[in-house]
A = this chain, B = another copy of it.
Amino acid sequence: MRKISFREFGLKYTLSPDEEPIINVKPGESLILEVEDASSGQIRSEVDRRDKSRIPFGNPVLGPIYIEGAEEGDAVSIYIEEINPTIGQGATYITESNDEYLTSVPILKFAGGSFPCKTRICPIRDGLVYFSEKVAFPYQPMIGTIGVAPRQEAEALSSSFMPGRHGGNMDLPDIHPGSRVIIPVFHEGALLYLGDVHAVQGDGEISGTAVEMPAEVKVKVDILKGKSVSWPRVEDEDEIIAIATSGAGRSLEDAIKIAFLELILWMEERYGIDRFDGLMLCSQIGKVRIGNLWTAAAKIQKKYLNPT
A99-B107, A112-B114 known; A94-B280 Cβ under 8 A: yes
B99 close to A102 (CB less than 8 A):
no
Enumerate 23 A-B pairs (CB-CB under 8 Å) in ascending A order: A14-B18, A14-B156, A14-B158, A52-B153, A102-B257, A104-B249, A104-B258, A105-B261, A106-B230, A110-B275, A134-B307, A150-B159, A155-B161, A158-B158, A161-B248, A202-B287, A204-B283, A206-B256, A206-B286, A206-B298, A246-B249, A247-B248, A247-B294
Q: Interface extent on A, as a size class?
A: 35 or more
Interface-lining segment among A53-61, A216-224, A233-241: A53-61
**Residue numbers in B under 8 Å from A104 (CB-CB):** 103, 249-251, 253-254, 258
Q: Which A residues have a C-beta under 8 Å from some C-beta of B?
A: 13-14, 16, 18, 52-53, 57-59, 72, 92-94, 98-99, 101-116, 118, 120, 129, 131, 134-135, 137, 150-162, 200-211, 230, 246-254, 256-258, 260-261, 264-265, 275-277, 279-290, 292-294, 298, 304, 307
- Determine which of B109, B159, B260 lies in contact with A157 in the assembled complex, contact meaning CB atoms within 8 Å: B159
In the complex, A261→B116 CA distance in Å?
16
Considering the complex of A and B, which 9 residue pairs feature the smallest CB-CB distances, nearest first?
A113-B113, A251-B251, A112-B113, A207-B283, A202-B286, A203-B288, A249-B293, A156-B159, A57-B153
Whether B52 contacts A154 by the Cβ 8 Å rule is yes
Q: Among the listed B107, B114, B248, B292, which residue makes an inter-chain contact with A102, where contact means beta carbons less than 8 Å apart?
A: B107
